[in-house]
Homo-oligomer: A and B are copies of this chain.
Amino acid sequence: MPELRKSPILKRWVIISTERGKRPIDFKVTREEIHGGFCPFCEGNESKTPPEVLAYRDPTTKPNSPGWTVRVVPNKFPALQIEGDLNKHGDGIYDMMQGIGAHEVIIESPDHETNIQYLSNDHIGSIFWAIRERMLDLKKDSRFRYILVFKNWGKEAGASLAHSHMQIIATPIIPKRVIEEMDGAKAHYDLKERCIFCDIINQELKDKKRVVHQNEHFIAFSPFAARFPFETWVLPLKHISVYETTDVELLPSLVDIMKTVLLKLDKTLLKPPFNFIIHTSPCNGGDLPYYHWHIEIIPKLTKIAGFEWGSGFYINPTSPEDAAEELRNAKITNEDLMNLKETEKETM
């Protein structure tokens, strides 16, 4: 059973997940990034994952068989386990609880050689809809306080499998980073009675210099205090605090902006490894006047080193204004949409 432990100084929680436990020698293997030839996410290998919890598939096909376009399965090596009680307890100065939670994988497509931004708009839309469906279902479990959805692509960004996928982790506590974001946004609201994200959107629309792309319902920009080169945030223009309450009418705009930004990053940075993370409100918070859901996209171009670990601040060698200009100017051609395979092979 994984264990959640709390740092007595920083109040930061850590998952000690010894089921994924590694012997020292295993880390050498990780460092050398050995990828086997077999992929459990490919069509035809459905029996190699735990049974699907959601799939969009041809209605004539059976669960856990070929015929799907998007498939969600529990993680075979979950960081947190679904069965059990939290059993909060202490040991002297230390606090801990059992590592209860959910850990699922969204397999974005049966095709091993593609990535989300190269799929059709309808297909991308169904992935973002699947996220909504899983969030609504997981939120029924009263043990969960937060649901985190993220994508790691490329080994430098932490992906252990090359086949394009996202992950969902439901946690029994609200993560520290989320609490900080909520607290910061609430402090602004308490002072001004305005959502800070709405204020930021208004300033970015006026300044224009950090805007990467905009469409009917969404904006993408380089944040003013970007930690990383080419970090890009995507937000709904309208104030919405909870991801899964977003109107279905906004879905085509979300698909357009995510596809456009990811393709522009690929073109500008030669298909970099990247992470993106959906930032949304905690479970059971309801609609919040001070929070605004968004997606943070981080191309993995620099290494985090002692300075960042020691200080919690970041050195970014590219100004957000320069990054936004490069991305605005990147024009996507049909050729850019076609040449994934060769370059992906280089990068993975």
Stretch of A112-120, A135-143, A224-232, A251-259 with 4 or more beta carbons under 8 angstroms from chain B: A224-232
Q: How far is the CA of A309 from the CA of B227 in the complex (A)?
A: 11
This protein's copies in its complex: 2
- Whether A24 lies near B317 (C-beta < 8 A) is no
Given contacts A9-B196, A18-B322, A181-B10, contact A311 B269 (CB under 8 A): no
Bound-complex Cα distance A272 to B177 (A) = 28
Q: Report yes or no: A148 in contact with B17, Cβ–Cβ below 8 A.
A: no
Q: In the complex, are the beta carbons of B8 and A313 less than 8 A apart?
A: no
Q: Which residues of B contact A199 (CB under 8 A)?
A: 93
CA distance A299 to B22 in the complex (A): 14
What separation, in Å, do the CA atoms of A146 and B307 have in the docked complex?
12
The answer to whether A15 touches B181, judged by C-beta atoms less than 8 angstroms apart, is: no
Contact of A303 among B156, B230, B277 (CB under 8 A): B156
> In the complex, are the beta carbons of A279 and B316 less than 8 A apart?
no
Contact yes or no, B301 A15, CB < 8 A: no
At the interface, yes or no: A36 with Cβ under 8 Å from chain B?
no
Whether B301 and A27, one on each chain, are in contact in the complex, defined by CB atoms closer than 8 angstroms, is: yes
Residues of chain B within 8 A of A318, CB atoms compared? 18, 21-22
Chain A residues numbered 254-298 whose CB sits less than 8 Å from any CB in chain B: 268-270, 272-273, 275-279, 296, 298
Q: How far is the CA of A194 from the CA of B42 in the complex (A)?
A: 56
Cross-chain pairs A/B with CB under 8 angstroms, 16 sampled = A5-B225, A7-B225, A8-B200, A8-B225, A9-B185, A9-B196, A13-B225, A14-B316, A20-B317, A24-B230, A24-B268, A25-B270, A93-B196, A150-B305, A155-B303, A177-B311
Q: Which residues of the partner chain B approach A296 to less than 8 Å between Cβ atoms?
A: 309-310
Q: Give every chain B residue within 8 A of A314 (Cβ-Cβ).
A: 12, 14-15
Main secondary structure on A side of the interface with B: mixed
If A15-B315, A16-B316, A20-B317 touch, whether A31 touches B304 (CB-CB below 8 Å) is no
Whether, in the assembled complex, A223 has its beta carbon less than 8 Å from a beta carbon of chain B, the answer is: yes
Where the two chains meet, the residues of A that have a C-beta atom closer than 8 Å to any C-beta of B are 3, 5-18, 20-22, 24-25, 27-28, 30-31, 79, 92-94, 146, 148, 150-152, 155-159, 167, 169, 171, 175-178, 180-181, 184-185, 188, 196-197, 199-200, 203, 206-207, 223-227, 229-230, 268-270, 272-273, 275-279, 296, 298-299, 301-307, 309-320, 322, 326
The reply to whether B171 and A311 contact each other, CB–CB distance below 8 Å, is yes
Closest Cβ of chain B to A120, distance in Å, is 24
Hey, which chain B residues are within 8 Å of A27, CB to CB? Answer: 229, 269, 272, 299, 301-302
Known: A177-B311, A310-B175. A305 touches B18 (CB 8 A): no
A181 CB contacts on chain B under 8 angstroms: 9-10
